[in-house]
Amino acid sequence: MSAAVPAPAGTGSRVRAFLRLVMIEHSVFALPFAYIATLTAMRPRVDWLVFGLVTVAMVSARTVAMAANRIIDRRIDAQNPRTAQRELVTGALSLRAGWIGLAVALAIFLATCAALNWLCLALAPVALFLLTIYSYAKRFTDFPQVFLGLAQAVAPVGAWIAVTGHWSWAAFVLGLAVGTWIGGFDLIYSCQDVAVDRRVGVRSVPVRYGVPAALRASALVHVATVGLYAWFGALTGYRWLWYTGVVLTAAVLAYEHRIVRPDDLSRVNRAFFTANGVIGLGLFGFAVADLVLLQGLR
């Protein structure tokens, strides 16, 4: 465990440390799919006020989830060389400041849900439960990625409800696509920590079944992801530009699985951050192009 250092004295330093803690820039993975659901539900005209509220709700909800994860897992993180430099472990951010940041994000999320519609506010506790249960799942199941996938599915479903005020099976299919996508690449990412996880008692598919089995399971899950993206397009009337994006997504996923092998996990970060960032932003770009150029969104 790294030696603790004094927490930064200035408010600005604490805010920056908190934003590093929750990895705010990683909103790029789920936020584009919340936007896809938002714009699809808004057709034919964008309501920019609602779009802005959805953005605030999604970023604040993810911040709550990440802050809770870091707080809950801080002792486990301290025993893993890969995570031992996280701010709550080193003392760069105090536990009290972490809780304050979480509370602020929670208040923003609930206020934004109330501003959107009553159903968003009523379902907010369900969303928060799904967003935080993953941190505990690794303690009682070998399949924590299932819970991570459920948490990520909240984004497009919640965005659709924010716009329309009612449930949508199409949004649910998009949520499943996002959940299997992120759950699948978390299977890859968790392969790095097998030795440490076994030592500290963290449960996962790689720990229980081995790295080769986890990578095979990830590939199968990602096949389902591509099918679900195509199904969402069929349910919502997308045209050829969306399906071009789906095909390219399949190619990036294939590349991701090609560069990570059971005997060589050195390129996991390239698969996790670069390839998946391309998928999120790329598919969003094709969705916007389809909506604007072929469906007349304005």
Distance CA 62, CA 285 (A): 22
Place of tokens 């159903």: 119
Neighbouring CB atoms inside 10 A of 196's CB total 16
The torsion angles phi and psi of 20, rounded to 5 degrees, stand at -65, -40
- Kindly tell me if the per-residue pLDDT of 3 is higher than 50: no
Contact 154, 195 (CB under 8 A): no
Region of 167 (left: φ > 0; alpha: ψ -120 to 50; beta: rest) is beta
- The pLDDT assigned to 6 comes to 47
For the chain, report the end-to-end CA distance as a whole number of angstroms.
Answer: 53
Contact 1, 79 (CB under 8 A): yes
- Kindly tell me if the per-residue pLDDT of 127 is higher than 60: yes
Where are the alpha helices (H) located in 26-143, listed in sequence order? 31-42, 48-72, 74-78, 87-90, 95-116, 118-140
Distance of CA 95 to the CA centre of its chain: 23
Calculate the average pLDDT of the chain: 90
* 169-212 pLDDT, tens digit each: 999 999 999 999 999 989 998 998 899 999 988 999 999 999 99
Q: Which domains occur in the chain, in start order?
A: 12-293 (1.10.357.140)
Q: Is 264 helix (H, G, I), strand (E, B) or coil?
A: strand
> What's the predicted TM-score (pTM) here?
0.90
Give the residue-averaged pLDDT of 107-118.
Answer: 97
If residue 223 lies in a helix (H) or strand (E), which one and from where to where? helix 211-236
Beta-bridge partner residues of 261: 264
- The pLDDT assigned to 8 comes to 45
* 8-47 pLDDT, tens digit each: 446 778 888 888 888 766 666 678 999 999 999 999 999 9
- The pLDDT assigned to 7 comes to 43
- The pLDDT assigned to 155 comes to 92
> DSSP E strands: which ranges in 127-267?
none
- Kindly tell me if the per-residue pLDDT of 2 is higher than 60: no
